[in-house]
Amino acid sequence: MSVVDVRDVTISYGRNIAVDKVTFKVEQGSVYALLGRNGAGKSSLVRCIVGQQKPAGGSVALFERDAWKHRTPLMERTGVVAEDADAPPEMTAGQIERFCSRVYARWDSAAVYERLKRFGIDPKSKFGTLSKGQRKQVSLAMALASSPELVILDDPTLGLDVVARRSLFEEVVGELADRGLTVLVTTHDLAGVETIADRIGILSEGRLVLDEDLEALKSRFRRVRMTGPASIEAAKVRAWGGGTEAIVTNYDAFLQERLHGTNVVEVTAMSLEEIFIAVGGEEKGTAS
C-alpha cells in the first residue's frame, strides 16, 4: 500500500514554478528521504502533502485519500515536524502537551513526558526559552504522541548540533522498530538519513531527477580514477593528478570486467552525500 502518493504535482507562485510535475510514492513501513538543495521545492511539496496548500496541478493522496479534501481526518493519522518548530513562546512544553492532547483522539501523554525527560527538557520550560534543537525535540515528542501511522519530517536536523541530530534520528529509528512507521523526511543531513532510508528522491530546480531504492542507487555509482583520458562513458569527468576522475552511474559486473586491464587505477564506492552532489548539487532555484 502507498501511504503517500504524489502524482504529477506542480506548484507555482505567480510565474515561478517551484515544483514541476513531480511523481513518487512512499510505501507503507518504509523511509523515503527527499533530498535537494535550498530552493529545490522540498518545503513547498511538503505543504501540499500535509494539505496546507493546494497544488496548481496534479494530486496528493495520503492513505489513498485526497490530502487537500480530507485533511482533518488524515492529520489524525499523521505526525509532522516542521522545518521551523513553532508554538506560542510563553507556553511551556507541558502546556503545549495538554493543548495537543485535546486535539487528537489518540494521544499518549506518558510518552511525551518520557521523551522530554530523555531530551533533558523540563516540562515547565517556556517554548520561547528553548534552543532550536530543544524546540525540534518538543515538536518531535508531540508528533509521535498521537500514535501516527505516517511521520513527515521537514528538514528536522537543520541547524542542530551533532548530539541533537543523533538524538532525533534515534527516536525515529526507535519508533520504526517498535511500530513500523512510514516516514517521509526532507533533509540536508545525508549522513544521518543514509542509515535509515529505504528509498531516495532528489529534487533539482523543482524536478524529481532521481527516485530509487538506496541500495540499488549506491550499487550503480562509482568513482573511477584513470592515469589518462577517460576511456568510459561517465556522468562527470574532471582532472585528477596527471589523469582523470570519472563518476560512473551504471557500474555493474559487465563494466567491472571491461575495466580490467585498462588505465584504471582505482574504483571506489560513493556515499549518499557524494551521489547527491553528483546528481543534484548544481541547482540554482530560489523557491523553498
Taking only the tens place, the pLDDT of each residue in 105-145 is: 889 999 999 999 998 999 999 999 999 889 989 999 999 99
Same domain, 195 and 74: yes
Same domain, 171 and 253: no
Same domain, 43 and 148: yes
Q: Which of 287, 286, 240, 236 is nearest to 266 (CA)?
A: 240
- The stretch 220-241 carries a mean pLDDT of 86
Are the CB atoms for 262 and 228 separated by under 8 Å?
A: no
Domain enclosing residue 112, as ranges: 2-213
Residue 255 lies in a domain: yes
Q: Which of 181-195, 202-216, 257-271 has the highest mean pLDDT?
A: 202-216
Residue 15 lies in a domain: yes
Alpha carbons 195 and 190: distance in angstroms, whole number: 9
CA 190 to chain centre: 9
Same domain, 191 and 161: yes
pLDDT value at position 189?
80
Structural domain total, the chain: 2
pLDDT value at position 284?
43
Put simply, whether the predicted model's pTM sits higher than 0.85 gets the answer yes
pLDDT value at position 83?
83
CATH code assigned at 196: 3.40.50.300
Taking CA atoms, 183 is separated from 17, 150, 196, 212, 245, in Å, by 26, 6, 10, 16, 36
Same domain, 96 and 228: no
Query: 35 — phi, psi (to 5°)?
Result: -110, 155
pLDDT value at position 288?
46
pLDDT value at position 280?
67
